[in-house]
Structure formats: structure tokens, C-alpha cells
Amino acid sequence: MSWIEAIFATLASPLFYRLTILSALPLVFAAIGGVFSEKTGVTNIALEGIMKIGAFTSIVFAIKFDNPWLGLIMGMLAGVILAALHAYVSIEWSADQIVSATALILIAQGLVGFLMIPIFGHKGQTNLVAHKLPTVELPIIKDIPFIGAIFNDLSIFFYFAIIIIFASWYLIYKTPLGLRMRAVGENPKAADTLGVNVKKIRYFGVLMSGLLAGLGGVYIALGDIGQFIEDMPSGKGFIALAAMILGNWNPIGAMWASLLFGAAEAMNIQLQSMLTLPSEMKALLNLLPFVITIIIVGGFVGKTRAPAADGQPYEKE
């Protein structure tokens, strides 16, 4: 099949759209997590590490207790704990947020690698869990051609994502808490003068980023293939950061950007299975999502704007 044919065949197949959604899911969670943190003025480039801890913890608990729901909760909790370290040093001690987050990425990687042997007896990858989190069957929609093939039997995480996208948009733009978050991220001094507790709001933002990025990690391990592989999440945390920026620090924007990156990943998967290429050429197609990220971040970022106090420590005088 030629390249052009393969691309058109991909675009015409419902599987492509389904894969786009599924590939976008972890990005949506982590990117919105990033939005929460950065809206309150704390950058959190540790999303990759948080996803890793979340993914690993969820599999540990899902296997040991044979309960995927416990895995889900513990995975998110692990994300919150890691984010709490970032929050503590960023908010209380004015630490360099980029450096602190880099440290957490290393700690997550080291901790997961370290625990693989005592917990699972070997490195590389864990066993498959016995029970994954459920998928959702849609009674009428499943019989509609094309649409049914896309949406029927999607992971329950798809519905989590829809709720989180709209709930966080509402929270950030329509509630007093959201107003405070934005005020703290734009001008902490002014917010402080008006009696907003800057520290508290920032803790909320960073801990939410841990919760959501942790959930993103849980999805890639427990929601998708049902096992943990050591090089997970293989750059998705950073692509989520790009999605957050491209989405202009807005949950709905982050959703669209995640879908775009999801489409790049789905295109990669589909082209690999359709094109008759030598295997080393197929491996080269793995570049696609990363190249697209660079082009987009490089080309569009001038049009977006970060919260003004993003990355700036705030100290009461």
C-alpha cells in the first residue's frame, strides 16, 4: 500500500478514531493536572514522574489485592504524595520549581526500578492483572455503524475524562475557588491583599496535578494493557505538558491538544500495521508524535500565554 493510500485508509477507519481517543486519555488527565498546578502559579514538569509512580502503584495494588479499583485509588494517592513534595518545597521554601520537578522525575524512576525486584522478583515488566477496570457497553449506539465501532466498549476512563474536562473547566472559570486560583496565578500579591490564602490555593493546584497525572498513569497501566512496563509512560508526561501549553492552560483546550497528539500516535500505530515496510523503517514512525509536538510547540506557542506568576515563588512580606 502506498503512503497516500495508507493515510486515507487510516482516516476512513473507525479504529483510527478509537485509537485517537484512547491515546489521548492519559494526556488529557495529565495535561489538565498541569493546568491546575500552573493556573495557581506553580509549574510542574514532573508529570512524567507522577504518571510513572501512579502507573506502578496501581498495578502493585491491583495485583496484590486483586482489586483494580483499589489500584486506581492508590495510584492517584501515590501521585498526590509525589506532588506534595513538589508543593512543599515550591510553596514553603521557594525552591526552583524546574529543578525540584526534575528531582521528582528521577526519584520516581529510581523508586519504581528499585521496587520491581523485591515486589515482582524481576525487572522490565510486571505480570498482567487478573481484572482490569471495566469498559462500558452502549446499548443503542453500539449498533450504529462507524460511531458504534468508535464509542462502544470504551474504557471507563473515557467517561472519567469527560467528567474531569468539564468539571475542571467549570471549577476554574465559574466558581469562586477558580477565580482565586487564577488570581493567585496571575498576581499573588494582589490576591493576598484581598485576603486570599495564596499558599492554600497553590497547594490545592499542585495536589490536584498529582491526582490527575496519577490517574493518567493508572490509565496507561491498569486501564489499557493491564500491566506495568518499566519504560512507561515513555514521554507522555512531557507530551501532556505540550498539550497543556498548546491548549492555552485551559481544560477544554488541553482536551483538543491531547486529541491532536492522540491522533499522531494513532496514525503511527495504524501506518505501522498498514504499510509494508521493513521493521526498522516502522520503528522510525515512532518519531511522529514527538516531531509533531516540536512543530506545534515551536510554531504555536507564541500565541498562548502562561499565567503571569507561573513558576514564581511568592513570599509574604
Closest CB 108 distance from other proteins, rounded Å: 8
**Shortest gap between Cβ of 222 and other proteins (angstroms)?**
22
Phi-psi region at 234: left, alpha or beta (left = phi > 0; alpha = psi -120 to 50): left
Which of 135, 175, 273, 286 is the binder for other proteins (CB under 8 A)?
A: 286
Rounded to the nearest 10 degrees, what angle do helices 47-64 and 14-39 cross at?
110
301 binds other proteins (CB under 8 A): yes
Nearest to other proteins of 103, 252 (CB atom): 103
Rounded to the nearest 5 percent, the helix, strand and coil shares of the chain are: 75, 0, 25
Residue 114, interface with other proteins (CB under 8 A)?
yes
Considering the complex, state which of residue 68 and residue 79 has its C-beta at the smaller distance from other proteins. 79
Q: Tell me if 176 contacts other proteins by CB under 8 A.
A: no
Angle value at C-alpha 264, between 78 and 50, nearest 5 degrees: 10
Cell of 101: 520537578
Interface with other proteins, residue 109, by CB under 8 A: yes
Least CB distance to other proteins at residue 90 (A): 9
Residue among 11 and 284 whose Cβ is closer to other proteins: 284
Q: Which is nearer to other proteins, 93 or 176 (CB)?
A: 93
Q: Which set of grid coordinates corresponds to residue 282?
A: 516502522
Binding flag, residue 82, other proteins (CB under 8 A): no
Q: Give the cell for residue 201.
A: 490555593
105 binds other proteins (CB under 8 A): yes
Peptide bond into 233 cis (omega under 30): yes
Rounded to the nearest 10 degrees, how much is the dihedral formed by the CA atoms of 183, 28, 53, 310?
-20
Number of residues that bind other proteins (CB under 8 A): 51
| Contact present, 205 and 249 (Cβ < 8 Å) | no
Q: Is 274 exposed, middle or buried (0-12, 13-18, 19+ CB in 10 A)?
A: middle
The candidate with the shortest Cα–Cα distance to 164, out of 147, 87, 156, is 156
Question: What is the nearest approach in angstroms of other proteins to the Cβ of residue 315?
Answer: 11
Q: Look up residue 154 and give its amino acid.
A: L
Q: Are 38 and 240 in contact (CB under 8 A)?
A: no
Ranges within 26-45 binding other proteins (CB under 8 A): 45
In the set 106, 136, 167, 177, which binds other proteins (CB under 8 A)?
A: 106
Buried b (16+ CB within 10 A) or exposed e, 134-165: eeeeeeeeeeeeeeeebbbebbebbebbeebb
308 binds other proteins (CB under 8 A): no
Q: Per rule CB under 8 A, is residue 73 in the interface with other proteins?
A: no
Binders of other proteins in range 182-241 (CB under 8 A): 235, 238, 241
The cell for 79 is 501521585
**CA pair distance 36, 43, nearest whole angstrom:** 10
Q: Where in 234-273 is the site for other proteins (CB under 8 A)?
A: 235, 238, 241-242, 245
- 287 near other proteins, judged by CB under 8 A: yes
Q: Which is nearer to other proteins, 133 or 242 (CB)?
A: 242
Subset of 125-164 contacting other proteins (CB under 8 A)? none
Instruction: Name the residues that contact other proteins, by CB under 8 A.
Output: 45, 85, 89, 93-100, 102-118, 123, 235, 238, 241-242, 245, 278-281, 283-284, 286-287, 290-291, 293-294, 297-299, 301-302
